[in-house]
Structure 1
């Protein structure tokens, strides 16, 4: 006779409602884990989509995703001459606000030469960028139709292609434009700023006396836009990444990072704080679930005091009583887990950020839930084993 099953059927309504509450908590735990995995996948999709073996960035920096990095645009010519390099291309990265009528959208802007490293290897719809200026490829998450007109700063673009699944570590959709457009957006100052810069130069140079350069000749150098945030490098199949990276750093005085190092920068530095926050939130929710299960099992045990005493009177061993409490606790936890899994499986697509649900994460969580249920049942088991058998006869301790 399964005593736990009979008791659950007797209190079925409360058991199901409690399981639903635990399921909601566990669904949130699953969502938090999926959001973190989604953040990692989003971040890595941008790096892997670039198709680069090495990232050459400003010396002393960790690359454009972690801090400001600026290198000369024509650096790629020197890098192409390095043994083992198949191709090199300058790219620019910037987080900007895109405008479409009254709509405002935050996007990750990538500027690269047409058909070169940095551009998406394929488009889901439309075509690659063919013109030198004012064309854009946007990710589907930007919700921009082919042929639509959008503005960034002073420039206006036509969406000619769409990609699928390219987003930044912060969840912003990625848009690709030509390198010239990206340089103008990021490095070219506005008219008022240029006038102020020239006035400052004239004031500084006027105090140096005759013989020095005039402001007109120096201003173009200060307002130079022929810059990039990194140079992407593709290697020959036979080339060794570490050797080529060391050669670039030695002869060109820049930092060369492998794709794996860039991925580590994103996962260990850029989104590390978010990972810690999500982990703390998950631990808190699991602790709350443990307390809820323990309280429910203890309450159900208290209500069965006379029944447990009767079992003791008829000679039921303590192991049978402990198994009854443990089975009810495990049943409650497993019901909550199944309800939570079903809920997150039906709703994860509606989250504003990518939620990557991995089976291995669910199996680990299932093991944790089983452990939590076993731990939570200890309080009820302790109470059940302390019941006086005389309670069944109407006396004894309650």
Structure 2
């Protein structure tokens, strides 16, 4: 006879209600893990999207994702002539907000040179950019559809294609336009501001022919580190390999978010342990007379310990299962991408197993201290 099972059946409503509360905690824990995975995945998707081997940026900077970088547009030709380089392209990054259908749409704009590295690898719907001006390819999460027209700066852009899973580490959907359009958008002043600058004889504050980085694809047998060292000799440039750029993103751009989510996960797991411990302790205290009766008729301590530990494990298992099902059902409705891997769910299950065993200690201690005489003492 399984005493834990019979006790759960006797208090089924309370057990289910308790499991529901724990499942909400587990769902939040899994959501935090999934949000962190999504943040890392989005950050790496942006840097992996061009499918290049080398990033050339302004001297003393760590690239366009960690900090501002500005290069003359002619740098691309110099990089393209390096030994081992197959193709090179200039690229820019900027975040813009544009009115669309009565709302404000936030986009992470990527300016690139059509026919050169930097554009979308796969266009899932529609086509890529074919005109030199005023066409845009956007991520599906932007809510844009093929044929939509959105105004960026002073000019209307027509959506000609859609891509998937291309967002920055901040969760903003990416959009691709030509490099020339991106440069104009970066340097173009509002009419009133431009008139003031012209009156001062300044014109535009900066040259339009500047880019955030020059990216390059290398020959299969070329050594990225060797090519990067060649670029470093020019003094006014910094060269980063693809691996370097990905490492900078993880160690710099998303590091603070990683630590913050990790701290929040620790707090949630601590709360879960305390909740399980209090629930098990309360359930044990309510059964002290029954436990005393078991002791009086000669039940060994392992039977009583098994009753408490099994109930604790059942609470954790049901809470984890319901929490996993819940987050799988709602994760697509989160404003940020939630990426859950099987290893994440398995790791949480192991943690919950340890937490449940540790949390049952209070109940076990109270049960083992019960005097069998309590059963006949009333």
Counterpart Cα distance in 2 of 1:193 and 1:376: 65
Task: Kindly indicate whether the alpha-carbon contact (under 8 Å) linking 2:86 and 2:219 is maintained by their aligned counterparts in 1.
Answer: yes
Worse overlay, 30-39 or 313-322? 313-322
**TM-score, normalised with respect to structure 2:** 0.97
Counterpart Cα distance in 2 of 1:177 and 1:82: 27
Task: Kindly indicate whether the alpha-carbon contact (under 8 Å) linking 2:72 and 2:210 is maintained by their aligned counterparts in 1.
Answer: yes
Counterpart Cα distance in 1 of 2:234 and 2:260: 42
Query: After TM superposition, which residue ranges in structure 1, 4 or more long, deviate above 6 angstroms?
Result: none
**TM-score, normalised with respect to structure 1:** 0.92
Match of 2:276 in 1: 293
Match of 2:57 in 1: 57
Task: Kindly indicate whether the alpha-carbon contact (under 8 Å) linking 1:35 and 1:356 is maintained by their aligned counterparts in 2.
Answer: yes
For residue 240 of structure 1, report the CA deviation from its aligned partner: 0.3
Task: Kindly indicate whether the alpha-carbon contact (under 8 Å) linking 2:59 and 2:235 is maintained by their aligned counterparts in 1.
Answer: no
Does residue 223 of the first structure (1) align with residue 216 of the second (2)?
A: no
For residue 187 of structure 1, report the CA deviation from its aligned partner: 2.3
Aligned residue runs from structure 1 range 1-398, under 5 A = 1-200=1-200, 223-251=206-234, 253-394=236-377
RMSD over aligned Cα atoms: 1.5
Task: Kindly indicate whether the alpha-carbon contact (under 8 Å) linking 1:188 and 1:223 is maintained by their aligned counterparts in 2.
Answer: no
What secondary structure is seen at the aligned counterpart in 2 of 1:172?
A: coil
Worse overlay, 303-312 or 184-193? 184-193
Task: Kindly indicate whether the alpha-carbon contact (under 8 Å) linking 2:84 and 2:222 is maintained by their aligned counterparts in 1.
Answer: yes
Counterpart Cα distance in 2 of 1:121 and 1:8: 55
Aligned residues: 378
Structure ID, larger Rg = 1
- Structure 1: runs of 5+ lacking an equivalent: 202-214
For residue 193 of structure 1, report the CA deviation from its aligned partner: 3.5
What secondary structure is seen at the aligned counterpart in 2 of 1:169?
A: coil
Worse overlay, 172-181 or 140-149? 140-149
Task: Kindly indicate whether the alpha-carbon contact (under 8 Å) linking 1:54 and 1:256 is maintained by their aligned counterparts in 2.
Answer: yes
